[in-house]
A and B are shown apart, each in its own frame.
Chain A
Amino acid sequence: MDVLKRNNVTVTGAGTQAMLFVHGFGCDQHMWRLVAPAFEDRYRVVLLDLVGAGQSDLTAYDPDRYNSLSAHADDILEVLAALDLPDVVLVGHSVSAMIGVLAAARAPDRIARLVLVAPSPRYLNDTDYNGGFEQADIEELLQAMDSNYLGWSASITPVIMGHLDQPELAAELNNSFCRTDPTIARHFARVTFLSDNRADLARVRTPALILQCAHDALAPLAVGTYLRQHLADSELVVLDTSGHCPHLSAPQATIAAMNTFLSPVPQEHA
């Protein structure tokens, strides 16, 4: 199996060290287009689509295998092995921040740094833990997804899957980015929002940057603090932006925070 094809991997940029961007739930690698290019002059920039998202190989999505986030972590490590990349800076958004944590715990030699964008180790509330959501909320999300898949039809699938590079075709499509097979998206939503990776945090020694939005419905500030406390070598930066996607709503602030974290030399203005 060609893992690079499976995960629709694209590699750009110059530099010896690699920076891998992994998108979160609901979208695909297009999410990084305001941030990733800023690192192309210093890093080999690697983008991918998680299996089941974007233009990944949807036939590879076996619900039994992808029943937990660790299968996605395995995929990522396979991609890095196929590209023969060590000491990678892994930038993961949302659920992929936790996928990155799992990958770093499994292969500390591959992952040199973690940038966790709007992360949460568990979305559901628990005793002494405020994740922000109840089980019923997740069921409601699945309903919202279902009622928005009425527009999905098999006839446009090939267009979405194969021709996003042809703007005249993509332009005809409503909401053409971030679409995928409804059954897969539904399953991934369950896996994402019902997962609990709190116990995995202690297994990570990789230096990590936690990038949190000041107003994020999906990851309350308490979640950021929890992560800071449970990830051994981590620092927390709260970005003054709202929503769940700082790489889209505040790309410059996101890039600046990443640069500060990644540069060992003190910044001139600091």
Chain B
Amino acid sequence: MREAEEEQYPELDLRLTAENVEELYEYAPCGYCSCLPDGTLVKLNQTLLGWLHYTRTELVAHRTFQELLSIGGRLHYETYCAPLLLLQGEVREISYQLRRRDGSRLSVLLNAQLLRDPLGNPLLVRITLFDITERQKYEQELLRAKSQAEEQGRQLARANEQLIAKNEQLTRINQDLDNFVYTASHDLKQPINNMAGIFEELMRTASFTDPEAPGMVSMFNDALRQMLSTIEDLTVVVQLQREQEHTTVELIELQPFTEELIRSLPARTDARFTLDFAAVPRLHFPRPGLQSILYNLLSNGLKYAHPDRPPHLWVSTALVDGAPVLSVRDNGRGIDLQRHGQELFQLFRRFHSDVPGSGVGLYLVQRLVHQAGGRIEVESQVGEGTTFRLYL
């Protein structure tokens, strides 16, 4: 045999064949043991005995392999490892803690093989054990980190659930508010119309002697009209909001769209309009929404024209960072943004008491733009004019 080997590897250094198999088994850099199918230890190597501080005679034929495990480990072995061995003939990379003679623990990784006799009956289990003390510490760290991450994940999920619930609640409240505004404006309309009718009737039939009466009557009439128009505006806000929710986005050709809109504005013969849609000729937007936005901005531009010069309005588009921007500029009175900037878009907020208006227009514009996922910027110079930029 030896001769044959030497012939096979003629160039081999003879010292390389001097490895003693017995010694290799006893002092291998891993633990070896063999046991009967019931676990009774029949053979252990010196490395393993050294790890455990046992002598061979204390263990062989007297103890089972399972008894070397921690109790929890033994439960795992009996319920998982042992059946698995019988089912598939081997198990690999199972992590256990061995109990040394003094009760201290040694972390090991176990590979095992089941040998059967010619009839197929279990004969012997061969077990190889690797000391994984250092690796085990690292794995414990990993496990700790994992369970921490899982806990954080659970907390996140809980926070997310709360957010979703809050969001649903807010949506519901918003809906309720809209409904409330709609119902209130609807319910107020009828009695105010009645008041107007009764007052008209009263004016026809009654006579007032007080010299101040005509002035007061006129003030009463103005107040009535103001009330009616506010209610009208509220209805418009809610209706537009509802329409916007149900209308679809379409591609709008801006030049004809704006020209038609200008024709529908309150006539003012001295007004000039300059349109320039060269940069972005078409926009994706719900048609009624864009109509309302442009109508409000343009009519504002006319309403708040500078008393010293005829109104001039510029409507144009541009591309900023690849996104369309629609601008409406006027040469009107301008707004003091330092003073009013914060409340510019608030409902019923008005800044020029000498011009009739309800304070609904800009609120509506902003709401429609926001609803479409856009935003508005305002730039203004008192006495020079105002520019609204819509990032859509």
Contacts and interface: CB of A to CB of B under 8 A. Distances in A.
Interface string B131-158: 0000010011011000000000000000
A27 B80 contact: yes
Interface string A174-188: 111110000000000
A24 B38 contact: no
Given A26-B83, A150-B95, A175-B91, A137 B72 contact: yes
Given A141-B75, A217-B74, A178 B92 contact: no
A134 B204 CA distance: 101
B94 interface: yes
Interface residues of B, number: 34
Contact of B73 (A144, A193, A218): A144
B6 interface: no
B79 A24 contact: yes
A202 to B, nearest CB: 27
Interface stretch (A70-78, A101-109, A230-238, A240-248): A240-248
Of A30, A138, A174, most buried by chain B (CB within 10 Å of CB) is: A174
Contacts of A16: none
Interface in B120-139: 122, 136, 139
A242 B40 CA distance: 10
A243 B88 contact: no
Contacts, number: 111
Contacts of A245: 78, 82-83, 86
A215 B38 contact: yes
B71 interface: yes
Contacts of B142: 150
A59 B143 CA distance: 24
B91 to A, nearest CB: 6
Nearest to A140: B72
Contact of B70 (A24, A33, A144, A177): A144
Contacts of A263: none
Given A140-B71, A140-B72, A150-B139, A177 B82 contact: no
B275 to A, nearest CB: 59
A146 interface: yes
A160 B73 CA distance: 24
A243 B75 CA distance: 10
B198 interface: no
A245 B88 CA distance: 14
Contacts of A39: none
A97 to B, nearest CB: 14
Nearest to A146: B143
A249 interface: yes
Contact of B38 (A139, A175, A193, A241): A241
Contact of B87 (A24, A31, A215): A31
B79 A248 contact: no
Interface in A163-180: 174-178
Given A143-B72, A144-B70, A241-B38, A25 B95 contact: no
A147 B95 contact: yes
30 contacts: A30-B87, A31-B87, A133-B71, A137-B72, A137-B75, A140-B71, A140-B75, A144-B72, A144-B75, A147-B140, A147-B143, A148-B95, A174-B92, A174-B93, A175-B88, A177-B84, A178-B84, A178-B87, A193-B75, A215-B38, A216-B78, A217-B74, A217-B75, A218-B79, A241-B38, A242-B39, A243-B82, A244-B79, A245-B86, A248-B87
Given A141-B73, A174-B92, A175-B92, 19 more contacts: A26-B80, A27-B83, A27-B87, A137-B75, A140-B72, A147-B95, A148-B76, A150-B142, A175-B84, A177-B84, A177-B88, A178-B83, A178-B84, A178-B87, A217-B78, A243-B82, A244-B83, A248-B86, A248-B87
Interface of A: 24-27, 30-31, 33, 94, 133, 137-148, 150-151, 174-178, 193, 215-218, 241-245, 248-249
